[in-house]
């Protein structure tokens, strides 16, 4: 969910009115400069054997996951040709490998997001299933 209604109470005794769809606020932040907005993929709820994981284990796996999904890129990401002579390391829609706890963490509607620097990307992967931190 990227948009939500902003309620305006024009009359304290009256009903709440809502802004038209055109004026909805966007909840996903726009990454500035050389930053990349990424989402953490959800951890599997059970082990391969079928045993359910404890909530603490799920939180630990999501928090320290080395895999992120690239959602948006800032306007200056990978723009420095001297630092990135071969071009960008990733693009929107890629799964990337980063160090655990990289970036600025936030939760939006229960999903964890991170804003990372463009030079934090250490690799890309086509299928992130099965990749865990050790």
Low-confidence ranges of the chain (pLDDT < 50): 1-9, 17-20, 22-24
Cα–Cα dist 122/67, whole Å = 10
Q: Tell me, what's the pLDDT at 7? A: 46
> Which tens digits make up the pLDDT trace of 2-26?
444 444 445 555 555 444 454 445 7
* HSE (side-chain half, CA atoms, 13 Å) at 73: 16
26 sits in which H/E element: strand 25-26
β 67-73/3-4 pair status: unpaired
pLDDT value of residue 91: 96
Q: What integer pLDDT is reported at residue 13 of this predicted model?
A: 58
pLDDT of 11: 54
Work out the burial of residue 118: count CB atoms within 10 Å of its CB; fewer than 13 is exposed, 13-18 middle, 19 or more buried. Answer: buried
pLDDT in tens, 22-34: 444 577 899 999 9
The domains found in the chain, sorted by start residue, are 29-125 (2.30.33.40)
Residue 23 has a pLDDT of 47
* pLDDT for the residue numbered 4: 44
> Could you tell me how many helices (H) and strands (E) the chain has, helices first?
1, 10
């Amino acid at each position: 969910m990227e948009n939500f209604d902003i309620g305006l109470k024009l009359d304290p005794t009256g009903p709440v009115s809502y802004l038209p769809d055109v004026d909805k606020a966007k909840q996903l932040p726009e990454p500035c400069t050389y930053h990349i907005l990424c989402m953490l993929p959800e951890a599997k709820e059970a082990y391969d054997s079928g045993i359910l994981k404890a909530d603490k284990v799920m939180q630990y796996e999501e928090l320290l996951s080395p895999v992120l999904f690239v959602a948006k890129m800032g306007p200056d990401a990978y723009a420095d040709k001297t630092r990135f002579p071969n071009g960008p390391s990733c693009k929107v829609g890629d799964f990337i490998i980063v160090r655990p706890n990289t970036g600025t963490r936030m939760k939006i509607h229960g999903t964890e997001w991170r804003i990372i620097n463009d030079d934090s990307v250490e690799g890309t992967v086509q299928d992130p299933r099965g990749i865990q931190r050790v």
